[in-house]
Amino acid sequence: MDRDLGNYRKSYEKQELLEGNVSDNPMELFQQWFYEVDENFEMGETNAMTISTIGGDGYPKSRVVLLKKYTHEGFIFYTNYDSEKGRAIIKNPNVCLSFFWPAAERQVIIKGKTEKIAENMSDGYFDSRPRGSQLGAIVSNQSEVIKNREILEERLKVLEKEFEGKEIERPDFWGGFIVKPIEIEFWQGRPNRLHDRLRYKLDYDFNWILDRLSP
């Protein structure tokens, strides 16, 4: 198999990213960008983000998850704590998040430290999920090898009968993580590959330092 992709080219010309037009706080700029992309571009799931972790085997692994909330403290998502992803985070809480919004020619890359959120917050979000998603979280031993899909379907049928007419409580192995950023880079595509890259980095006094990076 051999295919040359060298002729895949695109000129980025939609917007610019200049120091004089951004907030001193990167979370405020993230909120602005998220709103602009969500309102003005056909993106599907604007909250889709790639999270990269270091596994127990020493290799990095990236996968797409959904951002469910962001605050001044950081970025919150939910998962099975016993999954490959969950175990990797608990062992090494240093992760990288990245958002790619091609229609806006923008990326956001976030380095941060991860910790579990309060149990009542996880309870609240779990209660807000559709019933099928609640059961799905219980059915799946996430990341474990299974023989076939029929096993999942049968487990779901059993649980549907077991919980018929009953409230479904959040299992202990499922909940939220928050990624508290120490560095956030905003990338805006520009012509001639001279892209705008502005990086916010926390100093020892927890102040955000803004630098421009060469593309």
Tell me which residues are annotated as active site. Answer: 193
Question: Can you tell me the distance from the alpha carbon of 127 to that of 119, in angstroms, rounded to the nearest whole number?
Answer: 12
Closest by CA to 134, choosing from 122, 121, 149, is 122
**What sign does the CA torsion over 210, 75, 91, 62 have?**
negative
Closest by CA to 34, choosing from 21, 18, 23, 45, is 45
Residue 179: phi, psi to the nearest 5? -100, 115
Closest by CA to 114, choosing from 138, 97, 100, 134, is 97
Judging by DSSP bridges, how do beta strands 94-101 and 196-202 pair with one another? Answer: unpaired
Judging by DSSP bridges, how do beta strands 174-188 and 106-116 pair with one another? Answer: antiparallel
Cα–Cα separations (whole angstroms), residue 121 to 78, 89, 110: 11, 19, 23
